[in-house]
Amino acid sequence: MKDAVLFDLGGTLISYYEKGQFAGILEQAIAEVSHYLQDQELLVGYQEEVNRRVKEENYEASDYQVRPLEERLARIFQLESKNTDEAVKIEMCRRFMQPVFALAYLYEETLPTLRELRARGYQTAIITNTPWGSPGTLWLEEIERHGLSTWVDGIVCCRDAGWRKPARQVFEYTLQRLQLTPECCLFVGDDPRWDIVGPRNIGIEAILLDRAGKMKDTREETIRTLDELWERLEVDK
């Protein structure tokens, strides 16, 4: 019997963007930061140089360690040698995230599902990677904005653990924080690379959420909406 249900965030509880849209979003995000730094009289160099450095920074570590957004932006905009104020760093990150957060909408069954899980005595948590290693503080605000914080027992962003899914460290961090065992948990997510392989590596059962029905070739057990989750749980506790 499962005692806890752990969720991915983007594509699972909240919609943000499809993978193919990210290039355009990244361009907008960098433009937002550029405008901010220009207003602060901190923008140096030419746009071509900025674009080149963006391409150089647009990757994640092969071992899944987090590459923090603040450090990436400092390299892109040549701020490493400057004594940049912490307020400027967090504002750069906030501006970077604006195009992402602007696209967000909550799936209609998300809140009812979380409320019902709470009512039935399940622990719940969110485990999420963040685009370009963006700060967890911004994502806590975002999750609060959508009214999810009240209905989950824990929120773990990759920055908290220092590792991105599917690294086992981020799942181990969550289990330790919530005092859970792998056997008592079910993980639900929409990406087989991060949300199936990762949890299963430490013994957490995982279910793939395929909202659009595009993963027809997968051998994984899939659901199309969170409403189907009840069929996979022993609800009589």
Which two tokens mark 153? 């027992």
| Residue 35 host element (H or E) | helix 22-39
The rounded percent of the chain whose pLDDT value lies above 70 is: 98
Query: What pLDDT was estimated at residue 170?
Result: 97
The residues pairing with 163 across neighbouring beta strands, listed in sequence order, are 65
Q: Which amino acid is at 209?
A: L
CA-based nearest residue to 175, from 167, 185, 164: 185
Residue 204, token pair as written in the block: 């957490």
User: Distance between CA 180 and CA 167 in Å, rounded?
Assistant: 18
Give domain limits for the chain.
4-16+105-232, 19-101
Contact between 114 and 226 (Cβ < 8 Å): no
pLDDT (tens digit per residue) in 54-113:
999 999 999 999 999 999 999 999 998 777 889 999 999 999 999 999 999 999 999 999
Amino acid at 76: I
CA–CA dist 131, 36 (Å, integer): 20
Supply 44's token pair: 């140096």
Express each pLDDT in 23-43 by its tens digit: 999 999 999 999 999 999 998
Tokens at 128, concatenated:
């999420």
Let me know if domain 4-16+105-232 sits in CATH 1.10.3720.10: no
Rounded CA-CA distance 232/234 in Å is 7
pTM: 0.94
Please spell the DSSP secondary structure of 59-96, one letter per residue: ---TT-B---HHHHHHHHTT-TTS---HHHHHHHHHHH
Return the pLDDT at 24: 97
Structure tokens of 22?
Answer: 């990210």
Asked whether the predicted pLDDT for residue 171 surpasses 80, the reply is yes
Omega of the bond prior to 166 within 30 degrees of 0, cis? yes
